[in-house]
Amino acid sequence: MYKKILTAIIGTAFTALVAVSCVVPYEPKELNQTTGILVVEGHISVTGPFTIKISRTTNIASNNNVQDSIHFERYARVYVKDNHGNTYMSKSGAATGAYYFDFSDQMPDKEAQYQLIIESLDGNTYASDFREATYSSSMDLHYKIDTLQNKVIIYVDTYDFTGESTHYNWNFIETWDYVSQIKSFAYLDGYQVKKTEKYIPWMHRCWNSRESSEILLIETSALKEDRIKDLVIQTIEYRDIRITQHYSIEVIQTVLDKDAFLYMENMKKNSNDIGGLFSPQPHEISGNIRCVTDSSLRAVGFISVCNSVSKRLFIDCTGLPGYVREKMPEDTVISLAATPYRILRVLQMGYLPYLVDNQTESSYWNLSRCIDCRSKGGKPEVPSFWPAEWPTY
């Protein structure tokens, strides 16, 4: 979730101020190391699954793409240790930089203290400090279809009768399906146009997803009650492709301790404020991850121990107006006996077949982006949690 933010904070501290302000660049000594900084994202949860994402930075000044300035930390040995000496290893994800854990079935002691250990391939070991688990209150989700503003608004409610939560952080993962503009009952096999089997359309429905990229924090310690009601977690315009068919959002609520909250708040300030002429100077963002084998090596991240809760909301959007469809050109009609050269020429023009007429022995072609749902970034793979009553093609 925070890779883009972390990269922007680290990289912008060295380069962006020069470009936008025409003043002497601010280059704090703490941030002189711009490459190889270990970036750790995530929280330890003793009550359910969690993922720790680990990457390293490169010099953003020599790279035009922020995302390309992050390298996954692959094949590290990553585990959680408590103050009683018990060790909990990651279950998967060593090749992707995302290390998955779930040791809730081992009945971990909720009163114990926990730390994250990272043993990288370069021989160095990084560790967070020991921390106790925080309490997490329950959460509810609901939504409203706002016909005046032409938006779908999603809200979160939470209430902790003990008053122990007070420092909240939310992130979410959105998943949606959408359909191509033309329902295709033909496909290309080599240089031959064939009908789809059992009249099932080809690449008509796809699914896509994305994680939240903003840091959403709320503190309730100054309120009379530890209660949050109708907090807007996401707003989507009617014309957005995400709500043209069906939509799902999984919201993860994490209650942070005060130190972790201040760290996240610091990150948010840096990501929002850096870049303007009169913006505050960048804050120190190291967190509680340290290299225990070489103190000169830096790491960025704050690992807290929590009892995160998550809920999923489903919305059937088929009655909403949907996004504006593009105007398509006239069909191109090609003989089923067309030569490979003719087929290749039409493919190069950006066309695909969508219908076969056996009587005229012809095939009908149109723009591939209007036929193949994958052209808009999704895949024809039904998520495991998708409701059985919703269409799958």
Residue pair 209/201 in contact (Cβ under 8 Å)? The answer is: no
* 37 within some domain: yes
- In a domain? residue 74: yes
Q: Is 160 part of a structural domain of the chain?
A: no
Q: Flag whether the pTM goes above 0.75.
A: yes
Question: Do residues 111 and 4 both lie within one domain?
Answer: yes
- The answer to whether position 250 is within a domain reads no
- Pair 123, 31 in one domain: yes
Q: Verify that 24 and 129 share a domain, yes or no.
A: yes
What integer pLDDT is reported at residue 208 of this predicted model?
98
Q: Tell me: do 102 and 192 sit in the same domain.
A: no
The alpha helices in the chain, defined as continuous H runs, are 3-21, 258-273, 340-348
The reported pLDDT for the residue numbered 184 is 98
- Give pLDDT, residue 316: 96
pLDDT score at 359:
95
- Do 9 and 130 reside in the same domain of the chain? yes
Residues 33 and 98 in one domain: yes
Angstrom distance (rounded) from CA 75 to CA 39: 15
The string of pLDDT tens digits covering residues 188-234 is 999 999 999 999 999 999 999 999 988 899 999 888 888 899 999 99
Do 303 and 348 lie in one domain? The reply is no
Number of domains observed in the structure of the chain: 2
Q: Is residue 339 part of a domain?
A: yes
Position 166 in a domain: no
Residues contacting residue 23 through CB under 8 Å, at least 6 positions apart: 17, 277
User: Is-contact 115 84, C-beta < 8 A?
Assistant: no
pLDDT class for 18, splitting at 50, 70, 90?
Answer: very low
Say whether both 25 and 116 belong to one domain.
yes
C-beta separation of 115 from 302 below 8 A: no
Provide the residue range defining the domain that includes 269: 1-134+259-307
Residue 60 sits in the same domain as residue 187: no
Note the residue count of the chain.
393
Residue 33 has pLDDT above 90, yes or no: no
Q: Do 7 and 123 reside in the same domain of the chain?
A: yes
Express each pLDDT in 115-125 by its tens digit: 999 999 899 99
Are 279 and 184 contacting, i.e. CB atoms less than 8 angstroms apart? no
Q: Is position 15 within any domain?
A: yes
